[in-house]
Chains A and B, each alone.
Chain A
């Protein structure tokens, strides 16, 4: 008790439990990069009709170049597409909700694959006209963690038709795309990491970070486009898709 109180207080400072915040810079960056997009959509809603038309034109033009298109999803080949070093830090899936809430808000049926059961997380992105709903599955037996996303499997379902066209995908090389049949419907299996760019309802497009390690399965059914992003094999992905 010999030292002055002030000095003893300063000494305590160095011994306090204070979180280190190792991932804080990255998380803050993620939040900042995600936020303006939301505002963009909200602010420009009045111009929606004109911009929607622009969006349709852009997608139609893109589809003509690419030659491959599923409703609302267009696949183009971009040789400059490279893996982002920051992939996985920010999935930018919208906002977390319960499955029940997602179903109420999406306005279209949200299916859960019987092969996997209930998801670990559900996200909805109302910034986009297609209102993608993403079911997130954490690692478990036969479902390894993706080194890119940190999750094991993402299943996105969106109301994507050409007149609400929303999504464009950019793939590194043509060999990365394989045409497949998913539960009797034509679909695509895209290998490797790729960039995803979205076309929002205001006609602006923005790119998303990569989030898969092995492949993406894309197909559509009854006006809904399905996308599975995962580290598992095509065979296993088809199995999961078939159980929807």
Chain B
């Protein structure tokens, strides 16, 4: 591809017309959210496989993609279906993980970094304890940073349902965090 990068919509048009190179570029642009969504549903080890399958299926489904519609939630819907099927088949517990400690560029004290990391670990552990549906909606909304509408579309539910389900998932997450905090205090008391 030469000159100015093409708009997504132009790439999609070309891909619809059978231009596999254009589709390869779409995959390049959208692999990050696709892999992230797959990771949230099946965990990081199967995410690439799921994303690959999903992109192949999305290519075949392109003729049904409505011109002008938002591509990301449409694609993520396909990723979600593929990932959920994989999840059912594997039955393994999904545990999201934090990347190994990275060198922080701006210089808060080492202590502050450790505290921040411990807090993240506690929070993520609580997310990992949630049921699949709760983890998925929280993950899509906050880890993928989708809007409420996009979250609903990607998960294949009505917008109102997404809103109430997210609220309930957050309540349960707060519950887990409170339990852990209690547990932590009991440990400290001993």
Contact = CB atoms under 8 A, between A and B. Distances in A.
The answer on A and B forming one complex is yes
B59 A18 contact: no
B59 A28 contact: yes
Nearest to B116: A11
Given A21-B31, A31-B56, A12 B142 contact: yes
Interface residues of B, number: 40
A26 B34 CA distance: 15
Contacts of B20: 29, 32-33
A16 B36 contact: yes
A18 B55 contact: no
The contact size tier of chain A is: 20 to 34
A117 interface: no
Interface in A20-58: 20-21, 24-29, 31-33, 35
A20 to B, nearest CB: 7
Task: Summarize A's interface: helix, strand, loop or mixed.
Answer: helix
A239 to B, nearest CB: 39
A10 B144 CA distance: 8
A6 B166 CA distance: 11
A28 B124 contact: no
Given A17-B96, A17-B99, A18-B35, A9 B56 contact: no
B120 A17 contact: no
B47 interface: yes
A24 B52 contact: yes
A142 interface: no
A27 B52 CA distance: 7
Most buried by B among A6, A19, A33: A19
Interface of A: 1, 5-6, 8-13, 15-21, 24-29, 31-33, 35
